Chain A
């Protein structure tokens, strides 16, 4: 019997707490998401913290729409999703946050690399950065706990300054990712 575990051993155990602090520093108080096992501690963290208004959605497109509305109305917002969710977003990213210049911040847990067990996930992962690049979304991949705060803070700051959507891609090197265990 194979068991699927949410977190591996090469991880920064406090990555989600750091991201919550960074969100607060950037005034991001609305968080929308489509569930993901790797992001579970971050999702649990924002649900447990009264600073955040948290909206689970049925699709990532919907989550980007809610975040865009919130930002235009003066409240910064983040969208949490997994790699396969990002792959559903090409049209929405190009036609809403990019062209309307709405700095939606996305946090994407990276799947499909470093020990992936599902070929579909491995393939969809290859679409992620080309989608972000061609849709005009800035992105960075965060691999190390000691670089997390600086990279997340500065990437979000740049998104807000330049009115450009941005994605923080969280590598399995940071979160442990999702592995299959015998």
Chain B
């Protein structure tokens, strides 16, 4: 799908990017994967105990991650979300900018469509720019990644620098490479043990 707002560079693949991001985590960072393909691809990178897979509440990956970040301020929390989901709960960007958690690092995969429901074009596919919206919400540290190397540089800086960050990833239209197990209590239990809350 054509990216009209995010970048002129090539599109990245969600699974490949997720693999790179997870590969950069060395301090038991929590990772919250948003609904659908976002958490499916996170699942496909291997089930780290610090991963949480959100199956139903569309739009809540960033708010859940904010809650984890506030409860465990010493641990970096990484949130992975899709463009359609973020559009649905876009007010959370203003909340996150206001609260300004030092340890919340957000990624939004923007393929310009609602991929899992049949590829209907989202407003992001017509020009809505989520990074510009985040900046307007008061998030100072937000930018589109130009390519995989730029993404790694930006994510490394986000992990090393206090404050909320949002990195936009112009994403291709490939489907997720796996499907998350549908067992919410087990997913929650595993996550809580993984981050030392149980």
Contacts and interface: CB of A to CB of B under 8 A. Distances in A.
A70 B92 contact: no
Nearest to A63: B63
Given A62-B60, A92-B57, A100-B188, A70 B71 contact: yes
B72 interface: yes
A95 B56 CA distance: 5
B66 interface: yes
A13 interface: no
Given A58-B92, A72-B192, A96 B57 contact: yes
Contacts of A55: 66, 70, 95, 99
Contact of B63 (A30, A62, A91): A62
A69 B95 contact: no
Interface stretch (A73-81, A111-119, A154-162): A73-81
A73 B63 contact: no
Contacts of A26: none
Tell me the dominant secondary structure on chain A's binding face. helix
Interface string B60-72: 1011111111111
B78 to A, nearest CB: 13
Interface in B78-108: 89, 91-92, 94-95, 98-99
Given A59-B89, A100-B185, A102-B188, A73 B68 contact: yes
Given A58-B91, A100-B187, A101-B184, A66 B52 contact: no
Contacts of A67: 67
Contact of B67 (A56, A77, A99, A100): A77
Contact of B70 (A75, A96, A101): A75
Given A73-B197, A102-B188, A66 B67 contact: yes
Given A73-B197, A74-B71, A99 B60 contact: no
A61 interface: yes
Interface residues of A, number: 32
A56 B91 CA distance: 11
A70 B192 contact: no
Contacts, number: 123
Interface string B27-63: 0001010000000000000000000101111111011
Contacts of A68: 60, 64, 67
A179 interface: no
Given A55-B99, A62-B63, A30 B52 contact: no
Contact of A69 (B66, B98, B185, B198): B66
A30 B95 contact: no
Contacts of A72: 52, 64, 67-68, 188, 191-192, 195, 197
Given A61-B59, A92-B57, A69 B184 contact: no
A55 B71 CA distance: 12
Contact of B60 (A53, A73, A75, A96): A96
Interface string B172-198: 000000000000110110011001111
Give the residue among B64, B99, B184 with the most A Cβ atoms within 10 A: B64
Contacts of A64: 57, 60, 63
A159 B74 CA distance: 28
A94 interface: yes
Contact of B95 (A57, A100, A102): A57
19 contacts: A30-B71, A55-B66, A62-B92, A64-B57, A64-B60, A65-B64, A65-B67, A68-B67, A69-B68, A69-B69, A72-B52, A73-B68, A73-B71, A74-B196, A91-B56, A95-B55, A99-B185, A100-B187, A101-B184
